[in-house]
Amino acid sequence: MACQKKRLKARPHPLMDNSTHSVTAHAKVNLALHVTGQRNDGYHLIDSLVGFADFGDQISAKLTDENSFEICGPFAPALKDEDENTNLIIKARDALAEFASENGIKIKPVSLVCEKNLPVASGLGGGSADAGAALNLLTKLWQLEISESKLTEIALGLGADVPMCLKSEPLIAKGIGEELTSVRPFPKCHIVLANPMVAVSTPVVFKALKTKQNVVLKSELKFSDFQELLATIKANRNDLQEPAIEHRPIIAECLNALLKTNPACARMSGSGASCFALYDNEDNALAAAQTIIGNHHNWFVKPTFLRAKN
C-alpha cells in the first residue's frame, strides 16, 4: 500500500546517521480492567492488569535534513483524513524536540514511518503504543540524556495510556493509568486477538458505564505460570465489557466466536471492540485463529503471544 509523505519544516543539523531504526509498538491487552472512580477533571480511575502482545504497529525513524511523516500498512486508510498534528507520533516527536530545545540540545530532523497493523480505535492501545514506541525510538536516535521520570512525564502529557505503553511490559496500572507496577515473573502465553472491524468510542463506553465506583483488582495476584495467570484473570473482569456490548452488540458475537474454539478464557480488551482468548499451547491458538478467519473473513484476527517477563 502506498504511503503519502507529509513534509514539515525543520532546522538542519550536522548529526550523521543515515541508517533506519525500527521498533514494534506492541499491542496493549487489558487482561483485567476495573473502573474504580472518576476525578473532578473527568478522568476515570482504573485498576488494570496489562500485557503486551508480540505484535503491533511498526515505527521506523531515520535522521534526515527535513522532517517527514508517513503512514502505511493495512489500516492506514482509516487515518487518511486525520490531521497529522493530532497524531500521537508527531506529538511525541514534538514533545521530545521541545525538551531538547529547552535543554540546549541540538537535534536533527527525522523521517518517521508508521506501518499501521492494528485496527484503529480497537481497544489495543494502538495510538498510545505508537507514541510510546516513538518516544523510546527517538530518545535513542537523538541520543538524548533524559531521566526515566521526565520521559514518563512527557508520555503522560500525550495520554493516560502512553506511560504504560512506554514501558511495554506486563504491569498493573492504577490511577488514570500513570501509577505503574511491573509484574514479574510473567509467563509467555499464546493469545488470539480478534476485532469485528468496528470502531468504538472510549468516551461513549465510559459514559454508559452504570457504576464507576467498582472494587479494585483482587489482592491475590499470581503470575508465575500460565495456570496462575489464568486464575488471576478469571478472578477479575473488564468493567467496560457490558457497556461496550450495549454500544456495539457485535462484540458479543466476537466473544462467542472465540469461546467456541475452547480457549482457557476469553474477554474484551480495553473499551473494545477487540477481544482476546488465551490458549495453553501454540497449536490450539493457531487452529482457533484459522477457524475464526474461516467463519469471519472480514474480521481482524491475529494469533500471537503475550510477551514474558522474568
Q: Is residue 47 in a domain?
A: yes
Counted residue by residue, the chain has a size of 310
User: Is 227 inside a domain boundary?
Assistant: yes
Active site residue 161: yes
Write the pLDDT tens digit of every residue in 144-196.
999 999 999 999 999 999 999 999 999 999 999 999 999 999 999 999 999 99
Q: At which of 141, 157, 182 does a domain end?
A: 182
Please report, for the domain that includes residue 109, its CATH number: 3.30.230.10
Comparison of pLDDT for 8 and 99, the residue scoring more: 99
Do residues 12 and 50 share a domain?
yes
The per-residue pLDDT for 218 is 87
Q: What pLDDT score was predicted for residue 84?
A: 87
Residues 249, 252: Cα–Cα separation, whole Å: 6
* pLDDT number for residue 27: 98
pLDDT digits (tens, 9 = 90+) for 106-127: 999 999 999 999 999 999 999 9
- How high is the pLDDT of residue 156? 97
Residues 168 and 229 in one domain: no
Same domain, 57 and 93: yes
88 in a structural domain:
yes
Q: How far apart are CA 71 and CA 59, in angstroms?
A: 10
- In this structure, what C-alpha cell is assigned to residue 132? 510510546
Choice between 14 and 199, residue whose per-residue pLDDT is larger: 199
Query: In angstroms, rounded to a whole number, what is the distance separating the alpha carbons of residues 129 and 25?
Result: 5
| Mean pLDDT, rounded, for 63-69 | 96
**Per the domain annotation, does 1 fall within a domain?**
no
In a domain, 98, yes or no: yes
89 pLDDT tier (thresholds 50, 70, 90): very high
Residues 168 and 276 reside in one and the same domain: no
Are 207 and 78 within one domain?
A: no
Check whether 309 has a pLDDT greater than 70.
yes
Same domain for 156 and 202: no
User: What pLDDT does 310 receive?
Assistant: 87
- Confidence label for 17 from pLDDT (cuts 50, 70 and 90): low
Average pLDDT over residues 192-219: 94
Q: Which of 108, 161, 174, 239 is catalytic?
A: 161
Q: What is the pLDDT of residue 13?
A: 41
Range(s) of the domain holding residue 65: 6-182
Which grid coordinates are listed for 50?
496489562
54 pLDDT band (50/70/90 cuts)?
very high
What CA–CA distance (Å, rounded) separates 21 from 14?
A: 18
Q: What is the pLDDT of residue 3?
A: 55
Percent of the chain with pLDDT over 90: 89
- pLDDT number for residue 15: 40
Question: What is the CATH classification number for the domain harbouring 228?
Answer: 3.30.70.890
Region of 284 (left: φ > 0; alpha: ψ -120 to 50; beta: rest) is alpha
> Are 119 and 249 part of one and the same domain?
no
Give me the chain's average pLDDT, please: 93
Residues 207 and 275 in one domain: yes
Query: What is the C-alpha to C-alpha distance for residues 134 and 116, in angstroms, rounded to an integer?
Result: 13
161 and 49 together in one domain: yes
Indicate the residue among 148, 166, 182 that finishes a domain.
182
State the pLDDT at residue 43: 92
Is residue 297 domain-resident?
A: yes
Total structural domains in the chain? 2
In this structure, the answer to whether residues 28 and 156 fall within a common structural domain is yes
Of 263, 257, 239, residue with least CA distance to 300:
257
**Do residue 18 and residue 105 come from a single domain?**
yes
Q: Residues 252, 175: one domain?
A: no
- Whether residue 216 lies inside any domain: the answer is yes
**Reported confidence tier of residue 7, pLDDT bands at 50, 70, 90:** very low
Mean pLDDT of 259-286: 98
Average pLDDT over residues 298-305: 98
21-38 and 189-195 strand pairing = unpaired
Q: Please, which residues have CB within 8 angstroms of residue 82's CB and are 6 or more apart in sequence?
A: none
